[in-house]
Amino acid sequence: MATRNFGEPIRLLFLVGDTGGGHRSAANAVQQALERCYPGRFDAVICDPLLGPGTPLRLRWLMRLYGPAIRLTPWLWGMLWRSYNSPRVLGWARRTVLRSAYPSVAAAVAQHQPAVIVAFHALTADPAVRARASSVPEAGLVTVVTDLVTAHLSWRDAAVDRIIVPSAPIRHQCRLDGMAEGRYTEIGLPVAVEFSQPPMGTHARGALQRALGLRGGRFLVVVTGGAEGSGGIYRRTAAILKKQPGDVDVAVICGRNDMLRRRLTRLAARSGGRLTVRGFVDNMADWLRCADVVVGKAGPGTIAEAVCCGAPLLLTSYVPGQEAGNADFVVSAGAGRYVPGLADLVAEIDRLKHDPRALAEMRQASASISRPGAAADIAMMLASLAEGDRAAGVAVTTPATAWQPARNIPPLAQRPEVWTVLPQRASRASRRARRDLIGVDGGGRRLKTLPRRRKLGRL
């Protein structure tokens, strides 16, 4: 590790990948929390070794397929996700198609010589382990899981020092994997500080709507598809405009999907002022806070940010694989509904518009499962690893006692009905533990265990 002069900020390296927007958003939130809690004491560098400058062209081309894949062929993405969710196939992928990620991550680590490396993307965790061994063996290494309920094996199998998980289901996955108790910690998904403001009242939402260029005073539906603008946004927006009367306005955040933005802009010209279209925005918190209801796919970042703003959620779809279970998590908390059909979506909007009490209950339930302090808790943990108790004010002894979250886990995290997403591979002992853990769900129904995976043939 490079020597550091007294008073010089401690360098931290955050590894992200711009496949979707959640990885960078989480890294930005923790970077912001570090600067807010420890001004001038840490220099957190955000680096994208998968798509950033200097990345091998083959790796960059492969990563850029993610957006079109989840928009156009989500079934194919889900099949690939499940196929690579086994040690044998994942190991083969790391030796072949993902091999270029290792020198890219190694170059970033060698350049910055960090005191702590933090992987915010699953495909950067294992390369970071090897890069640390060769360049900065004394550095700490942490993985921050940015999926909400279902975590791919690549998040959990890398030999990092700590794994920060967002929810009880992933915490139990780590337990069933045989990890030591002190190696994983449930904190939540980090969100930026602007999402941590309390929910607004009716008049305040109307004022914020007008400040954003909307008409205000109408029932506002905010439609979002994450950074990639996926989830059938166009047809759902068109259905809302067609089936709902003129007192319902729609605002669509398209992210990086320029084709969707152009199509919706043409639709907005014929909507009589009811439709507002935006691309990638930096003030997403304002759009979520002023919404009467948020419509979109069950992306982990969207859910984490929306519940911190106290916004009711109508989830229309999910990406097979990493987003499986997210809609059930929200629905079981009472914070939203899952409405995959167009008719169901329009009917639910109409019901909530005419039932302010149900809408207020959903808004309260949404705020109750939020974790706005997750970014600050993660910043405290990283400070503990980088500088010891002098930085974070906690004792750094063993992994089990080095850090404790500043907030209590919400009661929802203890509910058995959210423990439904489980690892696909488990030993006989862990399968017995799994039956003891889940038993029955909240309604008294026996939960079905996942089938054993058949052995793979020759690759």
Q: In what order do the strands lie in the sheet with 293-296?
A: 275-278, 248-253, 219-224, 293-296, 313-315, 336-338
pLDDT band per the 50, 70, 90 thresholds, residue 8? confident
DSSP 280-314: S-S-HHHHHHT-SEEEE---HHHHHHHHHTT--EE
Does 130 have pLDDT greater than 90?
A: yes
Residue 196 CA to residue 306 CA, distance in Å, equals 10
Does 153 have pLDDT greater than 90?
A: yes
Q: Which of 168, 85, 64, 158 is nearest to 120 (CA)?
A: 158
CA angle 149, 155, 157 (to 5 degrees): 125
Q: What pLDDT is stored for residue 5 in this prediction?
A: 57
Does 450 have pLDDT greater than 60?
A: no
Express each pLDDT in 282-326 by its tens digit.
899 999 999 999 999 999 999 999 999 999 999 999 999 999 899
Cβ atoms of 5 and 37 closer than 8 Å: no
Q: What pLDDT is stored for residue 403 in this prediction?
A: 37
| DSSP H or E segment with residue 184 | strand 184-186
Q: What is the mean pLDDT of residues 427-453?
A: 39
What is the percent of the chain where pLDDT is above 70? 83
Does 424 have pLDDT greater than 70?
A: no
Q: What pLDDT is stored for residue 229 in this prediction?
A: 78
What pairs with residue 338 in β-bridges?
315
Kindly indicate whether the domain formed by 10-191+372-438 is annotated with CATH number 3.40.920.10.
no
List CB contacts of 325: < 8 A, sequence separation 6 or more.
148, 149, 150, 169, 420, 421
Question: 44-53, 233-242, 291-300, 391-400: which range is least confident on average?
Answer: 391-400
Q: What pLDDT is stored for residue 438 in this prediction?
A: 36
326 phi and psi, to 5 degrees? -65, -45
Express each pLDDT in 187-213 by its tens digit.
999 999 999 888 888 888 999 999 999
Does 1 have pLDDT greater than 60?
A: no
Cβ atoms of 159 and 137 closer than 8 Å: no
Cβ atoms of 28 and 81 closer than 8 Å: no
Express each pLDDT in 21-44 by its tens digit.
889 999 999 999 999 999 999 999
Q: What pLDDT is stored for residue 392 in this prediction?
A: 44
Question: If you average pLDDT over each of 165-179, 202-216, 397-411, which comes out highest?
Answer: 165-179
Residue 362 CA to residue 337 CA, distance in Å, equals 9
The Cα-based distances of 398 to 168, 394, 403 in angstroms read 23, 12, 9
Residue 456 CA to residue 459 CA, distance in Å, equals 8
Express each pLDDT in 54-104 by its tens digit.
888 999 999 999 988 988 899 999 999 999 999 999 999 999 999 999 999
Tokens of 166: 């967002």
Give me the residue spans of the domains in the chain: 10-191+372-438, 197-368
Torsion 200-201-202-203 (CA) sign:
negative
Q: What amino acid is encoded at 325 in this protein?
A: G
Q: Which of 403, 37, 418 is nearest to 185 (CA)?
A: 403
Tokens of 38: 């420890």
Express each pLDDT in 258-286 by its tens digit.
999 999 999 999 998 999 999 989 899 99
Q: Which of 434, 411, 436, 450 is nearest to 168 (CA)?
A: 411
What is the percent of the chain where pLDDT is above 90? 69
Express each pLDDT in 337-366 by its tens digit.
999 999 999 999 999 999 999 999 999 999
List CB contacts of 173: < 8 A, sequence separation 6 or more.
151, 156, 421, 422, 423
Express each pLDDT in 58-71 by its tens digit.
999 999 999 889 88
Q: What pLDDT is stored for residue 4 in this prediction?
A: 56
Q: What pLDDT is stored for residue 448 in this prediction?
A: 40
Q: What pLDDT is stored for residue 388 in this prediction?
A: 65
Q: In what order do the strands lie in the sheet with 162-165?
A: 42-47, 10-15, 116-119, 140-144, 162-165, 184-186
Q: Which of 206, 236, 241 is nearest to 223 (CA)?
A: 236
- Three-state SS at 353: helix
CATH number given to 197-368: 3.40.50.2000
Q: What pLDDT is stored for residue 3 in this prediction?
A: 53
User: Model's pTM, two decimal places?
Assistant: 0.81
Q: If you average pLDDT over every residue of the chain, what do you get? A: 84
Q: What pLDDT is stored for residue 21 in this prediction?
A: 83
